[in-house]
Amino acid sequence: MRLYWYSLRYRNHTVRISAAYLFRIKLDGKYLLVRGSRFPHYQPVGGVFKFSRHGQSFLASIGALDDDLVAIDAKSKSDLRIRLLGRNLPKFYAWFDDRRGREDSPWREFHEELIVTSALPREKFPYIFHDYQGRIVDQIRYSPHASSLEVLIADIYELLPTSEQEQALRDTLSSNIADIGWFTRDAIERHGALPGATSGTPIAEHSKKIL
């Protein structure tokens, strides 16, 4: 009902949509976060879904335009960051839920952020198991950063490591790998600020979605 209300209330307004997936990777009460490539903060493993050529045709049919908030390059090409008129929100959600024409696996970003970077040993992670934990859709809001109305979508997956994979993850708890870190719930909720400390580790707001 909220979706259809949005499509009526904001039918002639441009709405920015960003649809991503995030990994919950948890050991001993701590969560694995990685340093972002675009911004120097820590965030969950994951990234924006990509759409295929078929998906691109559908998005064009509902008047969706490329988002201009993030520069389009080889890495961000076909990212599911778009802008469309509010009246087309129901069509977009129906297509997104159908899963055809878009990425439907969280493996790509896991591989790029943890395997390609050698944060985790390739031989221990030829594949992964994971549980789908659900979807978080933020309420529509005006984003000064995007200079438009915005809806953020996040599918949450929990990693289910094998015993060998768990040990490989555990080995990183005491390692000094610069671009990954393990953080408590409290640290994530505080965005990395530490009580009594003069400085902390910046943690992205959306990291709370994996808690």
pLDDT digits (tens, 9 = 90+) for 140-151: 999 998 899 999
What CA–CA distance (Å, rounded) separates 204 from 44? Answer: 9
User: Could you tell me the residue ranges of all domains in the chain?
Assistant: 2-193
Q: Which two tokens stand for residue 171?
A: 């080995």
- pTM equals 0.92
- Classify 36 in phi/psi space as left (phi over 0), alpha (psi -120 to 50) or beta: beta
CA separation (Å) from 186 to 4, 23, 29?
A: 36, 18, 10
Residue 198: its pLDDT value, please?
54
pLDDT at site 140: 95
CB atoms within 10 A of CB 125: 19
pLDDT at 24: 98
- Biggest CA–CA distance in the chain, Å, is 54
pLDDT score, position 196: 62
The pLDDT of residue 197: 60
Angle between helices 89-98 and 53-61 (to 10 degrees): 160
Q: Extract the residue ranges of the chain whose pLDDT is less than 50.
A: none
